């Protein structure tokens, strides 16, 4: 997988809103949601895995492909930067 293009501040805000809407409507699964969160954050898999989730790049790549079996604590860490809890629902 190639490196993601860095988004402008306006694009990041727009993509964040779209992500929240898609999650609320059930239109996006965990693998796609993780990729989209990472794109909004403007980070590589390695950066997001180590800085945000505290996991290996390999583990994050598996989650993004839908082949991983992450712990609940891992899912919480991945979504926390976006105010999301397990299942990537917005927390109050």
Nearest alpha carbon to residue 15 among 38, 31, 45, 46: 38
Percentage of residues in the chain with pLDDT exceeding 70?
89
- Domain ranges, ordered by start, for the chain: 10-90
Q: What is the pLDDT of residues 40-55, one digit of tens each?
A: 999 999 999 999 999 9
Cα separation, 49 vs 43, in Å, equals 9
> Per-residue pLDDT for 71 more than 70?
yes
Cα separation, 69 vs 72, in Å, equals 9
Q: How many CA atoms lie within 13 A of 87 on its CB side?
A: 6
What's the mean pLDDT in 67-82?
A: 90
Please give the mean pLDDT across all residues of the chain.
Answer: 88
Q: What is the pLDDT of residues 6-20, one digit of tens each?
A: 889 999 999 999 999
CATH superfamily of domain region 10-90: lambda repressor-like DNA-binding domains (1.10.260.40)
């Amino acid at each position: 997988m190639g490196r993601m293009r860095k988004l402008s501040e306006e694009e990041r805000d727009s993509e964040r809103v779209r992500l929240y809407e898609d999650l609320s409507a059930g239109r996006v699964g965990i693998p796609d949601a993780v990729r989209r969160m990472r794109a909004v954050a403007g980070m590589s898999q390695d950066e997001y895995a180590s800085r945000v989730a505290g996991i290996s790049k390999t583990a994050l790549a598996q989650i993004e492909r839908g082949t991983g079996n992450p712990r609940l604590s891992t899912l919480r860490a991945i979504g926390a930067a976006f105010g999301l809890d397990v299942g990537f629902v917005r927390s109050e």
